Amino acid sequence: MLIKHNPNQNHLLAALPEAVFGRLEMYLELVPMLLGDVLCESGGKLNYVYFPTTSIISLHYILENGGSSEFAGVGNEGVFGIALLMGGNTTPSRAIVQTGGHGYRLKASVLLEEFQLGGLLQKLMLRYTQALITQMSQTAVCNRHHSVEQQLCRWLLLTLDRLPTNELTMTQELIASMLGVRREGVTEAAGKLQQIGYISYRRGHITVLNRVGLEQQSCECYLVVKKEFARLLSDVHQR
């Protein structure tokens, strides 16, 4: 089935007034975002910002010994490249495509010029930045204080919120890398969730069978992040 792509599939782009969107539309470029694509390396210059539609971007911090973990994800609710609007041209993190799909990229200079005009785009980006900071903070707390099983539930739920399906293509090795834990811990946690009928896992594919069960099994971190995004962007109306 041929998928129709539209910038309005990204919530931030959909919330822009016609006049603002009209100024950006001609510069928006639909791009495929394949699983594993690196959009920006640590310390790399940000020439583009990305508005995912059917893809998800994972933001990782890379340690000197090669270890890494995800501190935030960006899907159809947001944009990657927010550091540009805060006055920085680079970021210490790596941005890698976690779930393949599509998105729209925009030259950083175009977004920055519109941001500096003020108005709703500036308001949207600042509110999104606050929500993103909440996600980062909650991820740090969750990784320190909650079990691998609770972390896995949180991660699965946040990923599901960004997808139109209950199926994920993801190996246990990749999940372990996202959470910054040992693969054996993910294997044990996924096994427990499968045993109680919340998920089905085989050959790199996860199907969520009981979302309510996952929400009950998860820590409070998932709802904190979800409620903050809803609170900050609730009064923004789509075109």
pLDDT tens track for 113-148: 999 998 889 999 999 999 999 999 998 888 889 999
Q: Which sequence spans correspond to the domains of the chain? A: 7-143, 147-218
Query: CATH classification of 7-143 is 2.60.120.10, yes or no?
Result: yes
* C-alpha span between 206 and 19 (Å, rounded): 41
Number of neighbouring beta carbons within 10 Å of residue 217: 21
pLDDT of residue 53: 96
Instruction: Give the model confidence (pLDDT) of 56-70 as tens digits.
Output: 999 988 777 777 788
Tokens 């000197």 sit on residue:
64
The pTM of this model reads 0.89
- pLDDT reported for residue 116: 93
pLDDT at res. 77: 93
How far apart CA 69 and CA 181 sit, in angstroms, is: 8
Those residues of the chain that have pLDDT short of 50 are none
Neighbouring C-beta atoms of residue 206, cutoff 10 Å: 24
For the 147-218 domain, the top CATH level (class) is: mainly alpha
